[in-house]
Structure 1
Amino acid sequence: MVGDPGEDEIKGSRVLESLLAALARWPDVGRQPRVGIERWNTFTAHEVKAYHDVGISAIQAAAGWRSVSDQVRELGLLGFEPAVPTLIGLWEECPVQPVAVAAAHALFAIGTAEAREVLRRGIHDQDHLGRFMALKVMFSDDGTAWDNAGHLFSGECLATAAGLTAAAEALALLSPRSFSRSGPEWYSDELRDLVSQDHRWLDLCVALRDHEVLGRSARQVLRYADPAVTGPALDAAGARRAAQATTPAARPLRPGDLVARYQDGDHRGVWRDLGAVAHLDERWRAEAEQVAALTMERVRRNAASLTAALRARGWPVSAEQALPGPTADVEDRLRQLEQITGSAVPPAPAAFWRIVGTIDLVPRDTWEAPFPPGVPEQLTVADPLEIIDLGTGWSSVEQWQRGSAKLHPEIAGPLAIIIAADYLHKADISGGAPYSVWLPHAGADPLVREEEHGLTFTDYLRSAFAGKGFLRLDRQDEWVAHGVTRDQLAELTGWLDSVEYEHLDF
């Protein structure tokens, strides 16, 4: 219930006066301007830590910050417009996060043009709340949601990391925010029905359903939109896909040409040429499969040599764990994957599973036991190499089948078959999504997904062997920022230098 305007004005003045007095007693809290995604992505690990440390120190120094947050929220509930300049200052520079959060919500509640414009500018903030509040303004501005937020999906916006992040979060507002026993729940009825009410959002989500970054968000919107609306649009999109499914003409290829070049030592050149072919026709696939087999034979020899060298220096994995060999059912699994996805498994991972089977250098036996003396324990978070066999990763196939059984084929999405735990889980730290490859993939060498380097499967293996079994040796600045000393890094480097193995290029 809205109070008497005169009473609200008086109360707002009192609350603002009290707030300003409280802020005046925070001389040592300092300021922390908001940071955009593009700038944030240039920060070193030390700069990231320093930024977070400012917020930690501020909340420790800010006496009575809970009371200040309450006063900020009250100004929003009162709709007290004279507080807007103060609230803007808190939102844009206050390092005490709960106070800045309260200021953002208060600005939205007051809703003056100035307040909304300030929030709208946060669309490319590094902080999620900044982006959320900007989108909240855009989707509640006068005019249509498309007129206010459609620009986020322009080619110019989607060409940047910040733009992709904003677009993904805009799409997320059109799908359920949570699920309860009564079913999915949206942020608002207007957002729930937007795809049904405005064909431009429907066309956008259909067009983005296969996008590398935005596809998952777009499919989630389509999944929960009215099927009477999405069904015909997806049927039409599927028909267009089928009509365009003819294999693009690749450059002429003489049988045996790539194999001969590979055997002559042009290993990377051959894989570059294979990587340039998005859709393998019958001739290219036959050649790619032979090259992949030759490659994975060399990978197997590298893995055996490296495992022996690591174990000789005390790395705590057994030979049986590290290289158990291919599983007996690998051919059956590969055939099942082809039937499930409607496409042959890409030659690179298929050859790995046939010839190598598994590589597992993760020291899981040390999770509940001391680490071996003289072996740098920091290497547990350096992402030791792991590629699991198809049988071990088959739960991801079964999960995909269950999840896609009732979905329109055009929004089922790729089958993300797990190939390894992420680097934090490998160190027995709660982490992120596992590494995977997406199927179907019409080329020879799919990307390893969820892994930060963005490498193809073959390049991922190359990187691991170049790092003597570790993929995050390029992140040592993070370790130093979180307490690893230079002496410890020197010890780690010396230990790695002592690991010598016969490396075969592949």
Structure 2
Amino acid sequence: MTSSPRWLSRYQQGQREQVWQELRQLGGAAREPESAQEAQLVCDEMARRARQNIEAIVDRLSSDGYRFHANDDEQTPLQPHTPPTVNAAAYVDWLEQRFGAVPMTLSSWVRIVGDVWLVGTHPAWSSSASADPLVIELEATRYPAGQSPRRYIEDEWADWNERQAEYPDNGVFVLPVAPDRFHKDNVSGGEPYGFVLPDGCVDGLFSWETTMPFVSYLNWVFSEGGFPWPSGDDDQWQVRHRLVQNLLPL
């Protein structure tokens, strides 16, 4: 394949922004045979770098005595990072069967990164949960079998299609993968964060309080140590300074 060394080698050499721009400009054409394999390799490399960042953040928070917990009154302890299961690739296949196309960056995240939940409380930063800690749960392995994410997604997709039939300007469907920043802090908030689907592009659109490419969202979050929203607490910046050390740009 003539393009085989082009995007991946340039990405690894540091031309990340240029590579993402080129891949985004291709749109769905990136899935053509001459481009698809190389484009997916770039997304996989991105996911490996993201996982390294997440593992570093989790290790640093754990060393600080951070309590990872649910966003409820009980503050039930939770695992901050669950690696992909043996069913990860099958889950991506199911998403593609259901929606027709999912972004390559989403596929790479499911297969390589897994589920991430950074909500919790820092001993030196009591308002950490209000700083929009990173959460991306796609496989959603922490939920009991009776609360399968597939069932929830099926219901959300059916509801959206019903509304779309009645109101064609209903808007895009968003695959929910995280509570919004208010719900993360256990207060009423807005709609969940998630991916706009269907989407056959390399880097999907991530919907939170605005909509932006997923990799751009991740780079912003990692540039803030996993806690991108100002919490109004001066201690945030002291904690963040250590969390961001040597994190990898995507």
TM-score category of the 2 structures, normalised to the smaller one: 0.7 to 0.9
2:177 alignment partner in structure 1: 419
Higher relative contact order (CA 8 A, sep 6+): 2
1:390 alignment partner in structure 2: 139
1:503 alignment partner in structure 2: 247
| Cα distance between partner residues in 2 of 1:500 and 1:349 | 24
Cα 1:342/1:496, change in 2 over 3 Å: closer
Shift of 1:453: 4.8
Residue 190 of structure 2 aligns to which amino acid in structure 1? G
- Of the three residues 7, 20, 28, the one matched with 1:271 is 20
Cα 1:413/1:331, change in 2 over 3 Å: farther
| Cα distance between partner residues in 1 of 2:99 and 2:79 | 30
Shift of 1:406: 9.6
Task: State TM-score, norm by structure 1.
Answer: 0.42
Cα 1:288/1:409, change in 2 over 3 Å: farther
2:155 alignment partner in structure 1: 399
Cα 1:278/1:472, change in 2 over 3 Å: same
| Cα distance between partner residues in 2 of 1:354 and 1:293 | 9
2:114 alignment partner in structure 1: 357
Alignment deviations for residues 135-155 of structure 1 (CA, whole Å, 9 cap, x no partner): xxxxxxxxxxxxxxxxxxxxx
Shift of 1:342: 2.1
1:452 alignment partner in structure 2: 209
| Cα distance between partner residues in 2 of 1:395 and 1:472 | 31
Unaligned runs of 5+ in 1: 1-252, 364-370, 480-487
Contact 1:422 1:431 in 2 (8 A): yes
Residue 425 of structure 1 aligns to which amino acid in structure 2? H
Shift of 1:323: 1.1
> Within 5 A, what are the aligned runs for 1:281-292?
281-282=31-32, 283-292=34-43
> Within 5 A, what are the aligned runs for 1:247-326?
254-279=3-28, 280-282=30-32, 283-317=34-68, 321-326=79-84
Identity %: 26
Shift of 1:332: 1.8
Shift of 1:299: 0.7
Contact 1:381 1:423 in 2 (8 A): yes
Alignment deviations for residues 447-469 of structure 1 (CA, whole Å, 9 cap, x no partner): 211x2253311111111111011
Contact 2:115 2:140 in 1 (8 A): no
Residue 155 of structure 2 aligns to which amino acid in structure 1? Q
| Cα distance between partner residues in 2 of 1:461 and 1:398 | 27
Residue 494 of structure 1 aligns to which amino acid in structure 2? Q
Residue 26 of structure 2 aligns to which amino acid in structure 1? V
| Cα distance between partner residues in 1 of 2:11 and 2:242 | 31
Cα 1:380/1:408, change in 2 over 3 Å: closer
Residue 454 of structure 1 aligns to which amino acid in structure 2? T
2:223 alignment partner in structure 1: 466
Cα 1:454/1:342, change in 2 over 3 Å: closer
Cα 1:331/1:376, change in 2 over 3 Å: same
Alignment deviations for residues 104-138 of structure 1 (CA, whole Å, 9 cap, x no partner): xxxxxxxxxxxxxxxxxxxxxxxxxxxxxxxxxxx
Q: What SS does structure 1 have at the residue aligned with 2:174? A: strand
Shift of 1:391: 4.2
Task: State TM-score, norm by structure 2.
Answer: 0.81
> Within 5 A, what are the aligned runs for 1:24-423?
254-279=3-28, 280-282=30-32, 283-317=34-68, 321-343=79-101, 345-363=102-120, 373=123, 375-391=124-140, 393-403=149-159, 404=161, 411=168, 414-423=172-181
Contact 1:305 1:501 in 2 (8 A): no
Larger radius of gyration: 1
Contact 1:321 1:360 in 2 (8 A): yes
Q: Which has the higher helix share?
A: 1
| Cα distance between partner residues in 1 of 2:215 and 2:122 | 31
| Cα distance between partner residues in 2 of 1:288 and 1:458 | 14
| Cα distance between partner residues in 1 of 2:190 and 2:162 | 26
2:72 alignment partner in structure 1: none
Q: Which has the higher strand share?
A: 2
Residue 416 of structure 1 aligns to which amino acid in structure 2? V
Cα 1:306/1:285, change in 2 over 3 Å: same
Which range is displaced more, 262-271 or 303-312?
262-271
Which range is displaced more, 321-330 or 300-309?
321-330
1:103 alignment partner in structure 2: none
Shift of 1:339: 1.5
The two structures, once aligned, show a CA RMSD in angstroms of 2.7
Which range is displaced more, 401-410 or 454-463?
401-410
2:238 alignment partner in structure 1: 494
Contact 2:92 2:107 in 1 (8 A): yes
Alignment deviations for residues 261-306 of structure 1 (CA, whole Å, 9 cap, x no partner): 1122212221121122222241333221110001101111111011
| Cα distance between partner residues in 2 of 1:453 and 1:401 | 21
| Cα distance between partner residues in 2 of 1:342 and 1:410 | 22
| Cα distance between partner residues in 2 of 1:287 and 1:372 | 41
Residue 497 of structure 1 aligns to which amino acid in structure 2? H
Q: What SS does structure 1 have at the residue aligned with 2:175? A: strand
Shift of 1:259: 1.1
